[in-house]
Structure 1
Amino acid sequence: MHGSRGDVAIEVPFDEHLFLAVPIELRGPSADGTQWAREQIETLQVQPDRVSDLNGVIAQLAGQASLLSPQAFAAFLFCPSGLPGSALVEVFIGRTERTSLADVTVSYPVALPQREHPIYSPSFGTGRAISSLSKLPDGTALGQIRYQHLDHGILVDMSVTASDLTALGAGMPAFEALVNAVSCRPADAAAHA
């Protein structure tokens, strides 16, 4: 996935066997991804225990797409076992005046304390992963991992959210590979490359 934000050229390569890219026009609460969801189940594998409920899978896929932000540079469903997705992934990229991740505030309404650990990217150097757990009004646990890198005024902030905490934990190597594959550079440098 290639594009730009202002004067920043961006590339977000991803593994199509694990991640399903969700187009921007299908993201947000007013979007209707029903037709897109139908097309996906015609061409992609459905989780074996969900094959008998294709209408339910269509509704869930369209609903998952509508939960993703249209402001994200890229958005994906994490589908390691087939459709529907087991996690929502959003990649936000933009310029910032901040010079250190310590200056970037991250707050969640959490049920348990946030846990932070360093991560390393060949493109951005040392960043951080912040995990948190909260509860929805119906009592469902919701896990989130935020991966952040900051380099030369460009902030990469990738959010992974899932109610399936096992899938969230098992997917961490794939999520780290995704955020580490992101590359950003000034658009004028990209034009000359």
Structure 2
Amino acid sequence: DMRQIEVTIQNLIGSGMCPKTENNPYLGFMYTSFQERATKVSHGNTGRNAVKHGDAALGEICAQIASDEARHEKAYQLICEELFRKDPDGMMMAFADMMKKQIVMPAHLMDDGIHTTRGSGNSIFEDFEKVAAATETYTTADYVDIIEYLLKRWKVETIKCTSEDGQRAQDYVCKLPNRLRRLMERAEKRMKKGNKTEVQFSWVYDRPIFV
């Protein structure tokens, strides 16, 4: 239903986004370094799913977007690399701050004007995330993989922080992937025991989807 998709887009433009960067350039570059890689992963997986189900054109479009996102992430990560060199303590604290807040995707405030009235208690983005996870478009495992990638990309373990706050932040981010994977395993066990719930999206004419 393209009308409902356009309604959602216009509502999102009106709502904007809240990436929790607090007008701080360190937080902003840390956010984009993560977010651009996340959108590269999700668009790449969407494209592969599209091809798998017979839509080669959509697959090509998504592959092109993923390629663009790859260029974006490289630029932002190079900026962060230099910031780590210039101000290791400040950048390390920014890394830990964003990880504690958790990275939210740019579309997290999207609204089709209908979904929240259905009684599920979830926003349309929350249910959209469930579908993305169920189809392996973007999962918690991808989120943790990105953290691990950035830790290796910037050689975070080897950075010399001189302040106690910087050292605590470094310890936090370096231990984070293992902690998140343990939480993820417990969450997956709970999901397997639970029943799937029905969600509907106006974008696909309210067709029932079970996640």
User: Normalising by the residue count of structure 1, what TM-score does the alignment of the two structures yield?
Assistant: 0.29
Q: Whose helix proportion is higher, 1 or 2?
A: 2
Q: Which of the two has higher C-alpha Rg?
A: 2
Normalising by structure 2, report the TM-score: 0.27
Structure with the higher strand share, 1 or 2:
1
Relative contact order, CA 8 A, sep 6+: which one is greater?
2
